[in-house]
Amino acid sequence: MHTPTYLTLDNDVRQLRQTDADSFATRISGGLLSAADSAYEEARKVWNGMVDRRPALIARCLSDADVQSAVRFASARRMLVSVRGGGHHIAGNAVAEGGLMIDLSGMRAVSVDARNRTARVGPGALLADLDRAAQAHGLATPLGINSTTGVAGLTLGGGFGWLTRRYGMTIDNLLAVTVVTADGEVRVASAAAEPDLFWAVRGGGGNFGVVTSFEFQLHPVGPEIYAGLVVYPFAQARQVLRAWRDFTANAPEELSVWTVLRKAPPLPFLPASVHGTEVVVLAVACSGDVAAGQRAARPVLQFGEPIGSALMPTPYAAFQCAFDPLLTPGARNYWKSNNFSTLTDSALEVMIEAAGRLPGPECEIFVAQLGGAMARVHPSVTAYVGRDARYIMNVHGRWSDPRDDNQVRLWARQVFQNAALHATGSGYVNFLTEDEAERVAASYGSNYHRLQTAKRRFDPDNLFRMNLNIEPAAQAAYSGAVQAKR
């Protein structure tokens, strides 16, 4: 006699007989975990330590067939499905309370075709997996700046990093995907096959199905690039940020310079007296010829009087890990972000004022410099619409004591509000928190209606709703009810 367990979501409690779960388990090659399993606690964790959800089941998928079984199982029972790539999204959408987690972390394989400069990448691969495999051939594709991020979520939301100004966004280098859609079918989408689906997954997040394979275009990069950090005293922030803004407006596309306002970490090239005090950090990466990169980056040392700098020829794959120590998993995190088409003096003042009252030693204001190849793609070519963003500010609230939750979130929200006056109003779905569902439509702007239509075609019942959700066209009432229950 089996005791029935309860699988729930949507507050729509349904009984699942143990025999159902047992039979499902036989169809998942990596195994099916529930709270009784010793591996469950580790498997349910995501990057953001604020997220503490307990899925009913975790399906450790290792193949398309596993994913198909999981999608069909959840769909038949109307279970809330979450999909875990690298588990890095700030909103923690990889895990749902009481739901079925489709865990792809076991599908990390990367294979590089050096002759055709392409890579086929599993949906559990981390940026480091792809970077290392591609760099073995002196190749790379634009990814993000923290090597433990998942390729899957980063790509589906858009993806940008040090190579974006030169080679475009991650999605601009996506050639094809394999997707298990809500009906349990496997579809291959590219410019030639299923073009609507291919359009939608390039920025539309995990709304359209579970991607089980990505194929990317690669480009020659490195293996050494000219890169590193220049650190200025906070007292010179106004002068340095204005000079940075003016310089980046006309910088070559091989060069990216991002700004971080934070308390100085104990970097070896900084005097100990500066550690823990506010500074302006300029992170420099020049992906072209090293000598040309050195020449192009020289002005960055002349924005004021640097406290210290470490600019040098550096292996590209190593620079991709440079920020990892500041972004380790498990801390409490809350983000707010704005897109800017230009940075006015007033916008810079908002950042300087906010950095003067950082609520903790790990909090920071990060500003990515974009434009270049990313901006040359028309916003209608992919689902990602915010091509006009030349700078994206991400306010990173990061702390460890739950008693600081309110104080840090308040600070991040205030910076966002104060900067909003100077921003485009659009957003980047990969940076939106779980309380920002109202920003999704604005983030997709003129592409939102087409995304809703694609959603209705590929996921009419909104099975994939544990994400920055796009409501299926003409199903707003159903989806609204689902959202309200989340």
Ligand X SMILES: Cc1cc2nc3c(=O)[nH]c(=O)nc-3n(C[C@H](O)[C@H](O)[C@H](O)COP(=O)(O)OP(=O)(O)OC[C@H]3O[C@@H](n4cnc5c(N)ncnc54)[C@H](O)[C@@H]3O)c2cc1C
Interface residues with ligand X (CB under 6 A) are 47, 82-89, 93-94, 104, 123, 144-146, 149-150, 152-154, 156-157, 159-161, 205-206, 210-211, 327, 430, 466-467
Q: Residue 447 or residue 467: which is nearer to ligand X going by CB?
A: 467
Q: Residue 125 or residue 351: which is nearer to ligand X going by CB?
A: 125
Q: Residue 144 or residue 306: which is nearer to ligand X going by CB?
A: 144
Contact in structure between 269 and 241 (CB atoms under 8 Å): no
Cα–Cα distance, 153 to 20 (Å, whole number)? 30
Cβ 467 to ligand X, closest distance in Å? 4
Cβ 206 to ligand X, closest distance in Å? 3
Contact in structure between 99 and 129 (CB atoms under 8 Å): no
Structure tokens belonging to residue 132: 């290392």
Q: Residue 83 or residue 408: which is nearer to ligand X going by CB?
A: 83
Cα–Cα distance, 343 to 242 (Å, whole number)? 9
Cβ 157 to ligand X, closest distance in Å? 5
Q: Residue 95 or residue 419: which is nearer to ligand X going by CB?
A: 95
Question: How are strands ordered across the β-sheet holding 308-315?
Answer: 308-315, 224-233, 278-286, 255-263, 364-369, 391-399, 332-340
Cα–Cα distance, 312 to 289 (Å, whole number)? 12
Cα–Cα distance, 431 to 408 (Å, whole number)? 17
Q: Residue 88 or residue 409: which is nearer to ligand X going by CB?
A: 88
Cα–Cα distance, 138 to 424 (Å, whole number)? 37
Cβ 84 to ligand X, closest distance in Å? 5
Element (H, E) at 313: strand 308-315
CA 87 to chain centroid, in Å, comes to: 10
Cβ 469 to ligand X, closest distance in Å? 9
Cα–Cα distance, 367 to 396 (Å, whole number)? 10
Cβ 55 to ligand X, closest distance in Å? 12
Structure tokens belonging to residue 60: 């450790």
Q: Residue 159 or residue 379: which is nearer to ligand X going by CB?
A: 159
Using CA atoms, how far residue 357 sits from 10, 336, 411, in Å, is: 40, 16, 9
**221 contact partners, CB below 8 Å, separation of at least 6:** 135, 138, 139, 140, 163, 287, 316
Cβ 345 to ligand X, closest distance in Å? 26
Cα–Cα distance, 263 to 274 (Å, whole number)? 9
Cβ 239 to ligand X, closest distance in Å? 27
Cβ 233 to ligand X, closest distance in Å? 26
Cα–Cα distance, 315 to 137 (Å, whole number)? 13
Structure tokens belonging to residue 242: 């204005």
Label residues 281-297 b or e (16+ Cβ within 10 Å = b): bbbbbbbbeeeebeebb
Q: Maximum CA pair distance of the chain?
A: 76
Cα–Cα distance, 436 to 468 (Å, whole number)? 8
Q: Residue 198 or residue 234: which is nearer to ligand X going by CB?
A: 198
Cβ 2 to ligand X, closest distance in Å? 31
Q: Residue 227 or residue 243: which is nearer to ligand X going by CB?
A: 227
Cβ 19 to ligand X, closest distance in Å? 29
Q: Residue 244 or residue 464: which is nearer to ligand X going by CB?
A: 464
Q: Residue 153 or residue 304: which is nearer to ligand X going by CB?
A: 153
Q: Residue 330 or residue 402: which is nearer to ligand X going by CB?
A: 330
Cβ 73 to ligand X, closest distance in Å? 17
Residue type, 404: D
Smallest Cα–Cα separation from 221: which of 101, 111, 135, 122? 135
Contact in structure between 259 and 203 (CB atoms under 8 Å): no
The per-residue DSSP string of 416-436 comes to HHHHHTTS-S---GGG--TT-
Cα–Cα distance, 334 to 480 (Å, whole number)? 25
